[in-house]
Chain A
Amino acid sequence: MIEFELEGRAFSVQRLKLEAACAGLECLAKALGPMMAAAEGPSIQGLLAGAGHVPALLKIFAPVAKVRRGPDGSFERVPDAPWVALSAFQDDVFAGRLDLAIAFLWKAAENEYGYFLGANGGALAALMPKP
Chain B
Amino acid sequence: MSLAIYDIAAHDIIVGAIPVKDALVSAEVAAEAEAFSDEVGADGHVVRYATHDPRATCTIVLKGTSKENVKLSALLGLDQGTTNGAGVVTFLCRDNNGTTIISTDKAWIRRRPTKTMAAAPGDVSWEIRLVLDSPLNWVVGGA
Contacts and interface: CB of A to CB of B under 8 A. Distances in A.
B74 interface: yes
A81 B70 CA distance: 19
Interface string A87-125: 111010000000000000000000000000000000000
Interface stretch (B48-56, B75-83, B113-121): B75-83
Contacts of B18: 73
A73 B17 contact: yes
A72 interface: yes
Contact of B74 (A71, A72, A73, A84): A84
Interface in B55-87: 67, 70-71, 73-75, 77-78, 82, 86
B70 A71 contact: no
A82 B89 CA distance: 12
Nearest to A85: B74
B90 A71 contact: yes
Contacts of A85: 74, 77
B71 A71 contact: no
Contacts of A91: 67
B17 A89 contact: no
A84 B70 contact: no
Given A72-B17, A73-B17, A88 B74 contact: yes
B74 A89 contact: yes
Interface in A42-86: 69-74, 82-85
Nearest to A87: B70
Nearest to B86: A82
A87 to B, nearest CB: 7
Contacts of B77: 84-85
29 contacts: A69-B17, A70-B17, A71-B16, A71-B17, A71-B89, A71-B90, A72-B17, A73-B16, A73-B17, A73-B18, A74-B17, A82-B78, A82-B82, A82-B86, A83-B78, A84-B74, A84-B75, A84-B77, A84-B78, A85-B74, A85-B77, A87-B70, A88-B70, A88-B71, A88-B73, A88-B74, A89-B71, A89-B74, A91-B67
The 9 closest A-B pairs by CB, nearest first: A73-B17, A88-B74, A82-B86, A85-B74, A88-B70, A88-B71, A84-B74, A72-B17, A84-B78
Interface of B: 16-18, 67, 70-71, 73-75, 77-78, 82, 86, 89-90
